[in-house]
A and B are shown apart, each in its own frame.
Chain A
Amino acid sequence: MVKAEEAVSQVVSTHLPRRRRWTPQQIFIFGLIVFFAAIMLLPFFWMLTTALKTNNGIYQLPPQYIPTTFDFANFGAGIRAVHFVRLFINTAIIAAVATIGSVVSSMFVGYGLARIRFPGRKIWFYAFVGSMMLPGIVGLLPMFRLYLSIGWYNTWFPLMIPAWFGNPFFIFLARQFYFSIPRSLDEAAKLDGAGHFTILTRIMVPLTRPIWITMAIFAFQGSWNDYLGPLVYLYSQSKWTLALGMASFSGVYNTPWNEYMATDLIYMLPPLIIFFVAQRYFMEGLGSLGGASVR
């Protein structure tokens, strides 16, 4: 990973040597970047101001871009309107269990495929990775029937349990990353009497931090953001996730958009916070992904 970072910084530094004065072309490009960034941020701005407007404020024409009075009551009202706390806890539990499951199982399977020699491991690897190509919808209806028959309909199990059986994409990432770690480390540990489980937990896990943090972010986002799964499997409103609650809140006749945006902001916060906290590792992990696909 260090190597990749060095390479990147070298590339960047030779690309445009820093000069004291900016050429017109550089100013133009910088202006372009700022312009596009502003466009990207506009929806956020609109959301924030809407969340703080009064009930009359949202229907005022022309709209106030910066509200004269800030109405923080929208947060409370929105939270009560969608039973936000309940749905938030539901979503958090499902996301946590699914995230831990997919990261742990994929680290194990990836290790097995990269570091243990046994007959058939190549075939299994291609089978797992090949299954990524299969559109998720193909299995949805048979799985629905299966879950229904074992009493898992209207429970969280269909949203949490499959994660514990390895995620093909994560297995691919993990295997790729394990290959970059010198085998001499394993050999040394084996001489010291360490088994595969010890090598994985004591040597690999600390060394592959960027990759499992990347996996965890992807898994958490996938679960937190999932809409189709909860829509299909969760019937009772008390078991709903935020994705379902927010979608139905936005679909009612005359949505109170100020209250809606206030709760929508809180809904967005966990993925945002996790992204910012783990950003460094995330970009590193993604970088290795890009590097892998270049070759």
Chain B
Amino acid sequence: MEVHPQRKRRRNPDAGIGYLFIAPSIIGFSVFVVYPLVTSIYYALTSWNGVSAPTFIGLKNFAFMFHSDPSFWPSLKATGLFVLMSVPTSLILGLALAMLLNRKIRGIRMFRTIFYLPVVLPAVATLTLWKFIFDPRFGFANELLSALHLPTSLWLGSYSMALPSIVIIGLWGVGGTMIIFLAGLQAVPQELYEAARLDGGGNWTILLRVTLPLISPILFLQLVMHIIGSMQAFVQPAVLTAGGPGFSTDLFMYNIWQNAFQNQAFGFAEAQVWVLFIAIILVTVFTFRLSSMWVYTEEGTE
């Protein structure tokens, strides 16, 4: 197709067809993103049982949440602890496994597949499998520990161990993180490693001065995704613990779901959704702010 200088003034013949091609997403964006986003602000300010019409009550939902709801602060604490435990462990383990598997050994593809397998499986299937592994009397976990003469645990039934148990289950799916780090590691130019070695760099120096800075953009992306993802964890308490024992695994998403679909407090739940949403935005912005300190960019100076 030839391009004339006057082309801009003429009506673009492709405009109509272009909008036809992206029409599904424009409709989807309006119906599934804009509409619920806008209306949810209103619902957060209402008393609403999910069936009858919502009535406007102003900020009362938020007042109740911060002052009277006995589950709000414990739930927030459980969610915070979950993020603090699950994000660093899965990032570190994922990166370590990626570096371990980033080499040419016979059968390495098979090993990569083995590590990735749990990621493919349905969450409900893996969680329930682990539920039996963590069974205090007949489960594999305690069996293994007592065979090694180590103290056993009530796992999901224990106030202090329930949340760490969920984190351990999550680590079984570390292959997803590993694969993305692996792709990042393989994109690091090999000359850099050779140059570093010629300059007498040891393994640790190369890791800290070459590998980590070069994959820091991926590390950062993974960090943000993991934080956002774990702040919204839902299936684990829903399938395994129902938030217990106490409020130890009462993750915020599960708390919201309970308030909406079990307590019929839809307005209140929507207010909670907005608290979660704003918390996610704040944490993400904070992470982005900190990122300039350690994420390597081409133009950046040390």
- Residues of A bordering B, CB below 8 Å: 7-8, 10-16, 18, 26, 29-30, 32-33, 36-37, 40-44, 46-47, 50, 58-59, 61-63, 105, 108-109, 111-113, 116-119, 121, 124, 127-128, 131, 133-146, 148, 162, 164-166, 168, 171, 187, 190, 195-196, 221, 224-225, 227-228, 231-232, 242-243, 246-247, 249-251, 255, 257, 260-261, 264, 267-268, 271-272, 275, 279, 283, 286-287, 289-291, 293-294
Say yes or no: A12-B277 contact (C-beta < 8 A), given A117-B14, A128-B25.
no
B residues 66-100 with Cβ under 8 Å of A?
Answer: 97, 100
The residue from B111, B125, B187 contacting A37, defined by CB atoms under 8 A apart = B111
Interface contact A225-B270, CB-CB below 8 Å: no
Give min CB distance, A18 to chain B, whole Å. Answer: 7
Interface of B is mostly: helix
Residues of B within 8 A of A18 (CB): 104
Give min CB distance, A197 to chain B, whole Å. Answer: 9
Interface contact A166-B25, CB-CB below 8 Å: yes
Q: What's the Cα separation between A44 and B260 when bound, in Å? A: 36
Residue of B nearest to A47 (CB): B129
Judge whether B273 is part of the interface by a CB distance below 8 angstroms: yes
Give min CB distance, B15 to chain A, whole Å. Answer: 4
Judge whether B113 is part of the interface by a CB distance below 8 angstroms: yes
Judge whether B208 is part of the interface by a CB distance below 8 angstroms: no
Q: What's the Cα separation between A144 and B270 when bound, in Å? A: 12
Q: What's the Cα separation between A22 and B21 when bound, in Å? A: 56
Can you identify 29 A-B contacts, CB atoms within 8 angstroms? Answer: A11-B190, A15-B102, A18-B104, A26-B105, A37-B115, A40-B117, A61-B138, A63-B138, A121-B18, A121-B22, A133-B228, A135-B232, A136-B232, A141-B266, A166-B24, A225-B121, A227-B124, A243-B123, A247-B239, A250-B128, A257-B138, A267-B124, A268-B121, A271-B122, A272-B120, A286-B179, A290-B186, A291-B183, A294-B183
Give min CB distance, A289 to chain B, whole Å. Answer: 7
Judge whether B253 is part of the interface by a CB distance below 8 angstroms: yes
Interface contact A58-B14, CB-CB below 8 Å: no
Judge whether B6 is part of the interface by a CB distance below 8 angstroms: no
Say yes or no: A196-B21 contact (C-beta < 8 A), given A287-B183, A294-B218.
yes
Interface contact B187-A165, CB-CB below 8 Å: no
Say yes or no: A141-B32 contact (C-beta < 8 A), given A112-B21, A231-B238, A293-B218.
no
Q: What's the Cα separation between A227 and B19 when bound, in Å? A: 34
Interface of A is mostly: helix
The interface centre, meaning the residue of B25, B137, B186 with most chain A CB atoms within 10 A of its CB, is B25
Residues of B within 8 A of A146 (CB): 35-36
Q: Contact string, B123-141, partner A, CB cutoff 8 A, digits 1/0?
A: 1111011111101011010
Judge whether B33 is part of the interface by a CB distance below 8 angstroms: yes
Judge whether B282 is part of the interface by a CB distance below 8 angstroms: no
Residues of B within 8 A of A59 (CB): 138
The residue from B25, B100, B111, B239 contacting A171, defined by CB atoms under 8 A apart = B25
